[in-house]
Chains A and B, each alone.
Chain A
Amino acid sequence: MKDEVTSREDRVANLKGMGCSRKRVEDARFTQGKGNYVDDIKLDGMLFGDFVRSPYAHARIKSIDTAAALEVPGVLAVLTADDLRPLGLHWMPTLAGDKQMVLADGKVLFQGQEVAFVVAEDRYAAADGIELVEVDYEELPVIVDPFEALQSDVVLREDLVAEDGSIPDGAHGPRKHHNHIFTWEAGDKAPTEEVIANAEVVAEESMYYHRTHPCPLETCGCVASMDKVNGKLTLWGTFQAPHAIRTVVSLISGIEEHNIRVISPDIGGGFGNKVGAYPGYVCSVVASIVTGKPVKWIEDRMDNLMTTAFARDYHMTGKISATKDGKITGLHCHVTADHGGFDACADPTKFPAGFMNICTGSYDIPTAFLEVDGVYTNKAPGGVSYRCSFRVTEAVYFIERMIEVLAIKLDMDAAELRRINFIKKEQFPYTAALGWEYDSGDYHTAWDKALKAVDYEGLRAEQAQRVEDFKAGKTRKLMGIGLSFFTEIVGAGPVKNCDILGLGMFDSCEIRIHPTGSAIARLGTISQGQGHATTFAQILASEIGLPADSITIEEGDTDTAPYGLGTYGSRSTPVAGAATAMAGRKIRAKAQMIAAYLLEVHDNDVEFDVDRFVVKGAPEKFKTMKEIAFAAYNQAIPGIEPGLEAVSYYDPPNMTYPFGAYVCVMDIDVDTGVTEIRRFYALDDCGTRINPMIIEGQVHGGLTEALAVALGQEIAYDDMGNVKTGTLMDFFLPTAWEVPNYETDFTVTPSPHHPIGAKGVGESPHVGGVPCFSNAVQDAFRPFGNTHTNMPHDHWRIWRTANELGLHD
C-alpha cells in the first residue's frame, strides 16, 4: 500500500486529529434536508397517537366517555387508565424514585396532564377523536405556590398518604408534610450557623430562579413498532439516553431487554428535555401492541411547553459571611424546590437536588451548609438540568448573586472580591466544604486574562461617568457590567456515586478496524447537535493513527452500540470520550505487537508516531497503521488473534470541573426597560480542546440560551394553574435580532484524571452566562440602591425596578 503523505506535518494534517477545527461530517445531510428525525420515520400502516389533556390543574375525574370518539372515521382506539391498569402500566416509575401516572388515574394534578390516548390513521382523525372524548371533571383546589403547599390541608398526592392519614417516607427519607417530597442536606449545619452568627459581615438574600423550559426546536416524540411474529419491539424516539430507555421499557413492560431495540435517530436538540420517560412513550408502545401496527406520537409545541420536563423553579435563600476585608468564611443555602405534581426530576438517584452542592462555586469557602426541600404543587412534573449538569445552573446563579450581594455589603469591587476568594491553583485537587473534589483549575489566570481583555478598569470608569451623566440629566441609559466566574461539575459520573434508576453512569466505546484501514466506532452516547460523529473520530484519529475521515462514528442504536448512559450533563466528552481513548489505546497496544512482528523487532523497540509504528532510532523502518490493519486480517501472527477490535467501558474516577470567566457590558434604557448587550466576553477552560470550532459554536449557543433565561424566558402560571406561556408567542426564544456577537477566549487546564485531559464544555456557557447577564442588569442599578431583583429581566420588570428606585421622576 502506497503511503502518499510523507512529511510529518502532512501526516498530522491528514489525520485531522485532536486540536484541529475539522468541519462537521454531519452537515451534509442536514444542509440538504436529509436529516432523519423521528417525525421523518414512516412505516407501513403506521398509526398516529395523540392525547386528550386536562384543562384543569387539579380535578377529580368522574367519568370518561370514549364512545363518540370511537365513531370518528379513522379512529381505531382510545386508551384510558382503565385500559392500562390490567397491564400495570397506568403508573410508571420516575427517574427520581417517585411514580407518575401514565394516564390520569382518578384525578389530574396539572394542566395538560395526559387523560386519554387516541389512536387514529392520521393526525387529523386523532384530533377529531380528541374533541369527542367526554371527560367529566370535578374541580379541586389548586396550589401553585410551594410555600402554600407546605401549609395547605389539600392533599395533592393521595397515593402517598396512608389510610390513617400518616405520611410514609419517600424515596429520599422522611417527609414533613403530605405535600413535601424530601429534605436533602449537605455540609455541616451547626458549624456553618456558628461561623455566620459570629462573622464580621453577613450578607443575606432571597432569590427565585424561575421555572423555564429547555424547548428544543424539535419536540419530543417516538414511533413504537411491535412485531408480534418475532416478538421484537422497536422504539424510535428523541431519547438522550437510548439504553436507559430500553431498560426502563423492559422493566415496566415485562418484554425482555434483548427483544427491545431502541433507536435514537437524528435529534433536533435536547438540552435535558429528552432525558426523561414520558407517557407518550408508554402509550405508543401499548397502542402498537393493541393494534398490531406501528404507532407514532409527536408532541406539538403546546404539549412540549406545558407538560414535558421543565427546568429550575428553585426558591433560594442564602447567607454568606466574611471578614471585613472580604475573606469569605461561611455559606448557608436553603432551597424550596417546586417539583410539580410528580417528582420526575432527571437527577442521579443519590442526589435529589442534583449537584446543587457545588453552590460554594469557585471559592475557597471553609464552612458551608445546604438544605433543599422538595415540594409537590399543581404544575407539570419532570424537572431537568436544562443545559447544565444536574442543577449546577441554580448553584452557580446562587453563589454568583451572593458574591455580588456581599460586595455591595462590603462596598467592595465584585471582581476583587472574587479574586481574593478563588481557590488557588496550588490547592487542586480541592475538596469543597460540600463534599466534591475539584480535579484541576487555575482561576486567577483566567480571571486576570478576562479582566484585561475587556479593560475592566476602563469599563468601571466609563460606568461611573455614565452615572454622573444620568444624574445630570444628560442620558437616560445606565450601564451595567456583568461579571461571573463559574465552575461546572460535569462528566457524570463515577458508578460509585452516580446512577440513574440504579444504572451506573459509565459509558462505552467499541471499535472495529477494517482490513483496509478504515474503522467504525460505536458509543453509548447520542448526539443532539454536539457533533459527536466529528469529534469522537478526532479523538480516535489521534489515538490510533488512522485519519478521522476514515472513521465512522455510530450512536443511538441499542442493537449495535455498547451499553452507555447517554448524552446529557456534558458527559459525552468526559465519559464516552474517555472510553473512546481507552478503547483506542487497546487497539494501539495490539497494533504495536503486530508492527514489531512485521518489523522483526521486539515490541519495546517500536514507538508510535502520528500514524505509524517506527523502529526506535531507525525512522526509515516503520509500518503504518493502515499496513498494520491489513496484516491483522491477512497474516497468521504467532500468539495474536486475527482482527483488530476493542471495547472499553469507562467508569470515570471523578467528575471533571471546567470553569470560565465571563464579562457582559450592557446598556439599559431606564424609560423603556430595553437592554442592549454592547459586549460579551467569554473565557472557557474545558481542558484539552478537541475541536475549537465546535467548542466555539457550543459557547455561542449556550450563551444565547442563557440570555433567553436571564432576560425573558419563563413558564408562568396563574393562580388556577393555567399555563400562561404555552406557545412561542408567549415563551421567549431569542432570534438573530436580539442576540449579540460574542467574543470567545480560553485557557487550557487539562483534567489530570481524564485520558486526554478533556473536561467538556457544552453547558458551561449556559451555567456561566445566566448569572453574567443577570448581574449586568443588577449592576446597572447598584449605584441607586438595588441589591437584588429576580429574573427574568424582561423589559417590564426592568422598567419596574427603575420605577421602584425612583428613576422615573
Chain B
Amino acid sequence: MSNKMHIKLNVNGKDEEFLAEPRELLIYTLRERLNITGPHIGCETSHCGACTMTIDGKSVKACTMFVAQASGKSVTTIEGLGGPDDLHPLQSAFKEHHGLQCGYCTPGMITRAAKLLEENPNPSEEEIRFGMAGNICRCTGYQNIVKSIQAAATEMNAAKEAAE
C-alpha cells in the first residue's frame, strides 16, 4: 500500500517520526514499531483497558485509535511512568498491596490510576471504582487494586505536603 502518512509522536518523552498507513492502530505502532510492549491488547473493542495510555493529558485506549489520530501528540505509557530506580508510587503500591496477579492488565491499570490521581488526588473508594471501571482485571477481583490506589494516593499526598 502506498498511501502512507507522515506521523510524528512524542512517546515517553522521546520524539518519533515515521511513515504509516492511515489504518494502522496506535497500539500496533507502539508494540510492533517502537517496541513499547507495556500496553497490552486484550479485547480490541476498547472494553478491557489493557492498552490504556495517556495521550495529551487524557486516558485513552489505544486499541481502537489510529496512529494518524495521535500524530503530533504526546503519549505516556507505563514505561514512561517510572523505571527500576524511580518507581512511581503506584508501581510500589501495587506490589505492596498485591494489586496484581498475572500482570497483563497492570500496565493499563497503573497508567489509568496515575491519571485518576492526577485529576482527583483524594478519591473515595466509590470514585476509584468508578474511575477505574474502564479497566478489566480477571484475577484480583479489584479489592487490592482499590487498596493499592488508595495507598498510593496517601503516599503521594504526603510527599506533596512535605515538599510544600
Could you tell me which A residues sit within 8 Å of B by CB distance?
23-24, 26-35, 37, 39-40, 42, 73, 122-124, 215-219, 266-269, 271, 298, 300-302, 528-531, 693-694, 696-705, 727-729, 733-737, 739, 741-742
A737 close to B129 (CB less than 8 A): yes
Partner of A697, one of B129, B130, B140: B140
Stretch binding the partner chain, chosen from B3-11, B95-103, B154-162: B95-103
CB atoms of A529 and B103 under 8 A apart:
yes
B134 interface hit (Cβ, 8 Å): yes
Residue among B23, B95, B146 with max Cβ neighbours from chain A (10 Å): B95
* 12 A-B pairs in the complex with CB atoms less than 8 angstroms apart: A32-B91, A33-B37, A35-B106, A40-B37, A217-B50, A269-B101, A301-B45, A728-B136, A736-B129, A736-B135, A742-B141, A742-B143
B78-110 near A? 1/0 per residue, CB < 8 Å: 110011100100011011101011111111001
Contact flag A727-B130 (CB < 8 Å), given A23-B95, A218-B40: no
A218 near B98: Cβ-Cβ < 8 Å? no
Contacts of A528 in B (CB 8 A): 102
Name the CB-closest residue of B to A739. Answer: B142
A15 to B134, CA, bound (A): 40
Task: Kindly supply a per-residue 1/0 record for chain B positions 14-45, scoring 1 wherever the CB is within 8 Å of any chain A CB and 0 otherwise.
Answer: 00000001011000100110010111111111
Number of CB contacts from chain A to chain B under 8 A: 178
Q: How far is the CB of A734 from chain B (nearest CB, A)?
A: 8
Assess the A37–B48 pair: CB atoms within 8 A.
no
A residues near B82, Cβ cutoff 8 Å? 32
- Which residues of A have CB within 8 Å of B101? 269, 529-531, 697-698, 701
Q: How far is the CA of A298 from the CA of B138 in the complex (A)?
A: 19
User: Is B98 a contact of A697 with CB atoms below 8 Å?
Assistant: yes
Within the assembled complex, what's the spacing in Å between the Cα atoms of A760 and B65? 42
A28-B138 contact given A218-B40, A530-B101, CB 8 Å threshold: no
Assuming the contacts A30-B103, A217-B42, A218-B40, asked whether A24 and B138 have C-beta atoms less than 8 A apart, the reply is no
Closest residue of chain A to B92, judged by CB? Answer: A31
CB contacts (< 8 Å) of B135 on chain A: these are: 735-736
Known: A217-B104, A269-B139, A705-B138. A124 touches B24 (CB 8 A): yes
Shortest C-beta distance, B139 to chain A (Å), equals 5
Q: Does B55 sit at the interface, judged by CB under 8 A? A: no
Most buried by B among A302, A696, A727, A733: A733
Interface, chain B (partner A; CB < 8 A): 1, 21, 23-24, 28, 31-32, 35, 37-45, 47-48, 50, 77-79, 82-84, 87, 91-92, 94-96, 98, 100-107, 110, 128-130, 132-146
Give Cα distance in the complex from A530 to B100, angstroms.
10
What is the CA–CA distance of A230 and B107 in the complex, to the nearest angstrom?
38
Among candidates B44, B78, B130, residue contacting A300 with C-beta atoms closer than 8 Å:
B44
Query: Which of B23, B45, B128, B130 has the most C-beta atoms of chain A within 10 angstroms of its own C-beta?
Result: B45
Additional 6 contacts, C-beta under 8 A, given A271-B138, A697-B141, A704-B141: A33-B79, A39-B37, A266-B103, A529-B139, A530-B101, A701-B139
| Nearest CB of chain B from residue A708's CB, rounded to whole Å | 9
How far, in whole Å, are A24 and B94 apart by their CA atoms in the complex? Answer: 10
Closest A residue to B88 by CB, please name it: A31
Determine if A32 and B83 form an interchain contact, defined as CB atoms under 8 angstroms apart: yes
Smallest CB separation, A43 vs chain B (Å): 13
Also in contact, A727 and B39, with CB within 8 A (given A735-B135, A737-B130): no
Selected from B1, B40, B48, B94, the residue in CB contact (under 8 A) with A733 is B48
Residue in contact with B45 in the complex, picked from A23, A30, A693, A727, CB distance below 8 Å: A727
Tell me whether B45 and A728 are in contact (CB under 8 A).
Answer: yes
A726 to B: closest C-beta gap in Å: 10
Tell me the smallest distance from the CB of A269 to a CB of chain B, in Å.
4
- Select one of B21, B35, B133, B140 contacting A735, CB under 8 A: B133
Across-interface contacts of A29 in B (CB, < 8 A): 103
Q: Give complex CA distance A703, B101 in Å.
A: 15
- Given the interface pairs A30-B100, A123-B28, the reply to whether A736 lies near B146 with Cβ below 8 Å is yes
Q: For B103, what are the chain A residues with a Cβ–Cβ distance below 8 Å?
A: 26-27, 29-31, 35, 266, 268, 529
Instruction: Provide the residues of chain B in CB contact with A298, threshold 8 Å.
Output: 41
Query: Smallest distance from the beta carbon of B9 to chain A beta carbons, Å?
Result: 17
Question: How far is B155's CA from A72's CA once the two chains are assembled, in angstroms?
Answer: 55
Are A694 and B21 in contact, CB atoms less than 8 angstroms apart? no
CB distance from B142 to the nearest CB of A (A): 4
- In the complex, the chain A residue whose C-beta lies closest to that of B105 is A217
Known: A124-B21, A739-B141. A27 touches B100 (CB 8 A): yes
Q: A694 to B133, alpha carbons, bound, how many Å? A: 24
Give Cα A24 to B140, complex, Å: 14
Pairwise interchain contact B130-A700, C-beta atoms closer than 8 A: no
**Contacting pair A268 B83 (CB below 8 A):** no
Interface centre among A23, A32, A218 (most CB of B within 10 A): A32
Contact pick for B142, options A40, A219, A736, CB 8 Å: A736
Q: Within the complex, which residue of A31, A37, A700 is in contact with B40, where a contact is CB–CB below 8 Å?
A: A37
Q: Is the CB of B132 within 8 A of A735?
A: yes
CA–CA, A33 and B114, complex, Å: 14
Q: Smallest distance from the beta carbon of B122 to chain A beta carbons, Å?
A: 18
Residues of chain B lying within 8 A (CB to CB) of residue A302: 44
> Given A23-B96, A301-B45, A705-B138, A33–B39 Cβ distance below 8 Å?
yes
Known: A24-B95, A736-B146, A742-B143. A218 touches B107 (CB 8 A): no
- Looking across the interface, which residue of chain A has its beta carbon closest to that of B147? A741
Contact B128 A736 (CB under 8 A): yes
Pick from A32, A39, A705: contact of B78, CB under 8 Å: A32
Of chain B, the residue at the smallest CB distance from A744 is B143
Most B C-beta atoms less than 10 A away, residue of A23, A729, A739: A739
**A736 to B143 alpha-carbon distance, docked (Å):** 8
B102 touches A218 (CB 8 A): yes
Most central of B40, B43, B140 by chain A CB within 10 Å = B43
User: Top 5 nearest A-B pairs by Cβ distance?
Assistant: A33-B38, A30-B103, A529-B102, A268-B104, A700-B141
Q: How far is the CA of A500 from the CA of B104 in the complex (A)?
A: 28
* A700 and B136 within 8 A (CB): no
- Judging by beta carbons under 8 Å apart, are A216 and B141 in contact? no
| A217 and B136 contact, CB distance less than 8 A | yes
Contact A218/B100 with A33-B78, A529-B139, A741-B143 known, Cβ cut-off 8 Å:
no
On chain B, the residues within 8 Å of A694 by CB distance are 98
CA of A134 to CA of B32 in the docked complex: distance in angstroms? Answer: 29
B46 to chain A, nearest CB (A): 9
**Complex interface: chain A residues within 8 A of B132 (CB):** 735-736
CB distance from A730 to the nearest CB of B (A): 10
Is A31's CB under 8 angstroms from B91's CB? Answer: yes
Nearest CB on A from B34, distance (A): 12
Residue with the greatest number of chain B CB neighbours at <10 A, chosen from A35, A271, A693, A696: A35
Residues of B within 8 A of A40 (CB): 31, 37
Measured CA separation A178–B150 after assembly (Å)? 59
Selected from B79, B105, B144, the residue in CB contact (under 8 A) with A32 is B79
Closest beta carbon of chain A to B4's beta carbon, Å: 12
A273–B55 CA distance with the chains assembled, in angstroms: 34
Question: Are A735 and B134 in contact, with the CB atoms below 8 A?
Answer: yes
Residues from chain A with a CB closer than 8 A to the CB of B78 are: 31-33
Task: Give Cα A216–Cα B95 distance, bound, in whole angstroms.
Answer: 21
A707 to B, closest residue via Cβ: B141
A-side contacts of B95, CB under 8 Å: 23-24, 27-28, 31
Q: Is the CB of B141 within 8 A of A701?
A: yes
What distance in Å separates the Cβ of A200 from its nearest Cβ neighbour in chain B?
A: 43
In the bound complex, residues from chain A placing their C-beta under 8 Å from that of B24 are 124
- Residues on the A chain within 8 Å of B142, using CB: 700, 704, 735-736, 739
Chain A residues whose CB sits within 8 angstroms of the CB of B92 once the complex forms: 31
Find out whether the CB atom of B40 lies under 8 angstroms from the CB atom of A728. no
Residues of A near B37 (CB, < 8 A) are 33, 39-40
Instruction: State the CA gap A33–B11 with chains docked (Å).
Output: 15
Q: Are A267 and B45 in contact (CB under 8 A)?
A: no
A33-B77, A33-B79, A217-B105 given; A700·B44 CB < 8 A: no
Among residues of A, the one whose C-beta sits closest to the C-beta of B90 is A31
